[in-house]
Chain A
Amino acid sequence: MRSVVHASFTITRRWKASPVRVFAAFADQKKKDLWFGGGSDWTPVSRSFDFRVGGKENGSGRWKTGVVSHFDATYLDIVDDERIIYSYVMHLDDRKISVSQACIELTPDGEGTKFVLTEYGDFLDGYDDAGSREHGTSWLMDNLEKSLET
């Protein structure tokens, strides 16, 4: 069944690292590959990286469950050491599950960095259990589901 849910959220972090170093962790593919992706439960299957306004990035990988997730982004705005905005589409196998825009703002915070991520998303065609487990939904969600079933 077709549906769209609109939602946004914000995550704030503070790091000792300077904005220059935090920015580099997004701008340099070698650095980004060390932290971005699905972690140990996720095996990369394809990757491309073109960090400039209008450039595209892809990261696809297979989860332990066998499902392949695809992250496909287009960079919309880049201000060195300050701001990155990109839109991205997420697929699970061939299902398009979301279209989002992510805005990353880096502000000096003493010697370190205040990091603010704001994501606006259109989440498509209903919540999918497989997708949720795919991304390692927390014990809470799992337990809540169980409690709803009983």
Chain B
Amino acid sequence: MLEYSLDKTFAALSDPARRAIVEQLTLGPASVSELARPLPMSLPAAMLHLKVLEDAGLVSSAKVGRVRTCTVNPAMLSQAEAWVADRRAMWERNLDRLGAFLDATADET
């Protein structure tokens, strides 16, 4: 379902390490160890992040011999999802500003 998968997508992308992984994969397929190398974490920790990205449908992986190769999955962002992501992003930015406004005026009654 669209809403469900979008929630997963946004949750998956809420982490900087996972965004770094997706960003690297948009440049081309990479092995798990290649993806983990620039990250300030252990290989098992990086693999957990990859699992979240795979569960959200953003990343696919396949094992060839001893190497697991990952690829980004652009198809999951269908037209509807692109629309919703766009509109949602607009709201998120507005609500960030609203939150900042509420904090800044917290002393006012």
- A residues near B (Cβ < 8 Å) are 5-11, 13, 15-17, 21-22, 25, 31, 34-37, 39, 98, 100, 115, 117, 119, 121, 123, 126-127, 131-132, 135-141, 143-144, 146-148
Contacts and interface: CB of A to CB of B under 8 A. Distances in A.
Interface string B66-104: 000000101001011111111111111111011111110
Contact of B22 (A17, A35, A115, A140): A140
A121 B23 contact: no
Main secondary structure of the interface of B (DSSP, over half): helix
B27 to A, nearest CB: 8
A16 B83 contact: no
Contacts of A22: 98, 102
B101 A35 contact: yes
B59 to A, nearest CB: 12
Contacts, number: 108
A141 B101 contact: no
A103 to B, nearest CB: 12
13 contacts: A5-B80, A5-B83, A7-B80, A13-B99, A25-B98, A117-B91, A123-B87, A135-B89, A135-B90, A137-B86, A140-B26, A144-B74, A147-B26
